Structure 1
Amino acid sequence: MADELQALLDRIDEEGLKKAEAKQSALLTQAQKEAEAIVAEAREQAAKIVAEAGREAELLEQKSEQALRQAARDVLLGVRAELAGRVQQAVGVLLRESLDTKGVAAIIAQLCEAYLKSQGEQDNIEVLLGAEQFTALESAVKAQLADDLQKHCVLTPA
């Protein structure tokens, strides 16, 4: 009877082991499936994150290029304005240094004649001059202008 009892105990023990192994195998299979699902979800999220980062990088690159073009445009406009100012200043200095009273008077006379011939909508032309220039140019301009133009062109001190 002891042998039978031992055989019964061995069989119960063996069945318990088989049940435990089956349960363990089922749990292991379930854990592997869950792990695979987690890995698949993580890969999907990683792909989404990479795609979003790519879109953001492209957008940032476009904005950077646009800002760079705007900055280049601003620099060119600044350079253009600076050059125009310097040229205007240089021309002004050159004119002041190189033109005498007779030269300026001749220019004013030619401007008045050209204006009256081409656009003459106004009867009179008034040229504003500084006090020194007025005194120096008044007689020279009047000498340059014909009698008809003297009636229509007036020099006035500023």
Structure 2
Amino acid sequence: MSENLKALLEKINREGIHSGEEKAKAIEDKAKKDAEKILRDTRKLADEIVQKAKAEAEKTKINANLSIKQASRDLLLGLKEDIRKTLNKIVAGEITKALSNEEITGILANLIEKYADKNGKTEDIKILVNKTDLDKIKHTFISKLKDKIKAGVEFKPSQNINAGFSISFDKGKSYFDFSDEGLLETLCVYLNPELAKIIK
């Protein structure tokens, strides 16, 4: 009986060990599979994070380049505008210097004499000048013109004229603008495209 018991114990022991080994192997296999899955998932997640980071870095780089280009463009436009304004100030200053009372009266006398020589009626002529310079220009103008031309020319003050004059040959229905602002506008129409060519 003791041999039977011994054999039985050995059988139970073998079957228990075998069963335990199988369970241990199953647990180990499952743990390996779980570990491999975790590793695959981790690698996949890491790859996704890296790809997302690369995409964000590329997007940031593109946005930075666009911002730099926009800032450069804005700087150039601002510089061009500053140059244009400076040129306009210089031209305006030169126009104002050139439009002295003596120059204005000389130009007016010449215009009106030529107009009268072509049978123009001097009584149709109206001249607008700066209020401050009106008396000086009128006095100098009258002394330069012949008597027949003096008659009918009408001088009026204008608050809108700083220097220069506006002249009408149709009793004030329309005016030719030779004021500082009118001449500046006319010159800038020509100068600004030329300036644009230079600073391109």
Q: What TM bracket, shorter-length normalisation?
A: 0.5 to 0.7
Report the Cα offset of residue 48 of structure 1.
Answer: 2.9
Q: Which residues of structure 1 form unaligned runs of 5+?
A: 117-123
Corresponding residue for 2:17? 14
The whole-number CA distance in structure 1 between the counterparts of 2:113 and 2:44 is 88
Provide closer, same or farther for how the CA distance between residues 83 and 148 of structure 1 changes in structure 2, counting only shifts above 3 A. Answer: farther
Report the Cα offset of residue 76 of structure 1.
Answer: 1.4
Provide closer, same or farther for how the CA distance between residues 69 and 31 of structure 1 changes in structure 2, counting only shifts above 3 A. Answer: same
- Show CA shifts across 1:87-144 (max 9, x none): 256436745xxx764333124445667999xxxxxxx664312344121111322444
Corresponding residue for 2:130? 130
Q: What TM-score does the superposition give when structure 2 sets the normalisation length? A: 0.56
1:48 and 2:51 matched:
yes
Q: Percent identity?
A: 10
The correspondence of residues 100-139 of structure 1 with structure 2, limited to 5 A, is: 101-109=101-109, 126-139=126-139
User: Is contact 1:112–1:153 with CA below 8 Å preserved after alignment?
Assistant: no
Provide closer, same or farther for how the CA distance between residues 111 and 82 of structure 1 changes in structure 2, counting only shifts above 3 A. Answer: farther
**Partner amino acid for 1:58?**
K
CA RMSD in angstroms, aligned pairs only: 3.7
- Show CA shifts across 1:32-65 (max 9, x none): 3212321232133123312320332133123312
Q: Which residues of structure 2 form unaligned runs of 5+?
A: 117-123, 159-200
Equivalent residues, number: 150
The correspondence of residues 25-44 of structure 1 with structure 2, limited to 5 A, is: 25-44=28-47
